[in-house]
């Protein structure tokens, strides 16, 4: 056993230097040079250069003028991008039933009684899901158009421009990026005044 001692210790040091420092730092260097935006987290900046978010990370929109995201279990108020989490509630859990019921009522209050898609009342795995389903977005068109004083078609066009289909036609699902759609709405049809509740 003692004969294994030296290779065991020295190899751990060797591998730590090679795989724990050289490898990640090397990849960081190459990635930062070749793909600076992605490597930096796909951040979105406003005209003043301030970071308004990441196009990959959902935000907890509440205002009537915006597409609203899915329920989130990340952090106390949802969409905590430093504390990702799903709800982990099982199908028989009473807390899940209560939450879905309350959310469904609130959504019907806000956007009418039309049929609710499943993603509108379920919390995502990450709590940071940047997307909603096209059906979920379509339900919200009338409210956004009314709040902004524009035609529903104009809102629908923005949503369509921020919708992606399945990759290669069959991998994954169609989805609307909530943050980029809302930014596009603000850029194209500025609200009279921003009123976040």
| Chain residues 71-100 in contact with other proteins, contact rule CB under 8 A | 79-93, 96-97, 99-100
Q: Which pair of structure tokens corresponds to residue 190?
A: 């500025």
Interface size with other proteins, residues (CB under 8 A)? 103
E strands, 76-190, are 131-132, 163-164, 175-177
Q: Choose one: 21-29, 140-148, 154-162; the region binding other proteins (CB under 8 A).
A: 21-29
Separation CA 112–CA 66 (nearest Å): 16
CA neighbours within 13 Å on the CB side: how many for 110? 23
Residue with tokens 């066009």: 157
Nearer to other proteins, 117 or 152 (CB): 117
| Least distance in angstroms from the C-beta of 155 to other proteins | 16
CA neighbours within 13 Å on the CB side: how many for 164? 12
Q: Could you say whether residue 196 binds other proteins (CB under 8 A)?
A: yes
109-138: contacts with other proteins (CB under 8 A): 115-119, 121-133
| Least distance in angstroms from the C-beta of 161 to other proteins | 17
Site pattern 28..67 for other proteins (x: CB under 8 A): x-xxx-xx--xxxxxx------xxxxx-xxxxxxxx--x-
- What torsion do the CA atoms of 152, 158, 159, 160 make, to the nearest 10 degrees? 110
E strands, 34-186, are 43-45, 51-54, 131-132, 163-164, 175-177
Nearer to other proteins, 45 or 146 (CB): 45
Nearer to other proteins, 43 or 151 (CB): 43
Q: Could you say whether residue 173 binds other proteins (CB under 8 A)?
A: yes
132-171: contacts with other proteins (CB under 8 A): 132-133, 166-167, 169-171
| Least distance in angstroms from the C-beta of 150 to other proteins | 18
Separation CA 154–CA 118 (nearest Å): 25
Q: Report how far apart, in Å, the C-alpha atoms of 138 and of each of 76, 81, 112 are.
A: 28, 26, 12
Q: Could you say whether residue 184 binds other proteins (CB under 8 A)?
A: no
Q: Could you say whether residue 187 binds other proteins (CB under 8 A)?
A: no
């Amino acid at each position: 056993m003692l004969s294994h001692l030296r290779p065991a210790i020295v190899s751990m040091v060797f591998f730590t230097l090679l795989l724990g420092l050289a490898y990640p730092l090397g990849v960081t260097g190459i990635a930062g040079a070749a793909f600076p935006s992605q490597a930096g987290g796909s951040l979105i900046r406003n005209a003043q250069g301030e970071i308004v978010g990441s196009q990959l990370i959902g935000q907890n929109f509440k205002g009537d003028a915006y597409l609203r995201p899915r329920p989130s279990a990340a952090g106390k108020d949802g969409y905590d991008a430093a504390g990702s989490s799903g709800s982990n509630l099982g199908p028989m859990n009473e807390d899940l039933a209560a939450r879905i019921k309350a959310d469904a009522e609130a959504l019907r209050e806000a956007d009418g009684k039309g049929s609710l898609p499943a993603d509108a009342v379920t919390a995502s795995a990450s709590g940071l899901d940047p997307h909603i389903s096209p059906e979920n977005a379509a339900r919200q068109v009338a409210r956004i158009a009314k709040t902004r004083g524009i035609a529903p078609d104009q809102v629908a066009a923005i949503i369509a421009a921020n919708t992606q289909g399945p990759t290669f036609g069959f991998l994954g699902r169609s989805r609307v990026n909530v943050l980029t759609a809302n930014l596009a709405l603000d850029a194209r049809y500025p609200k009279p005044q921003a009123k976040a509740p």
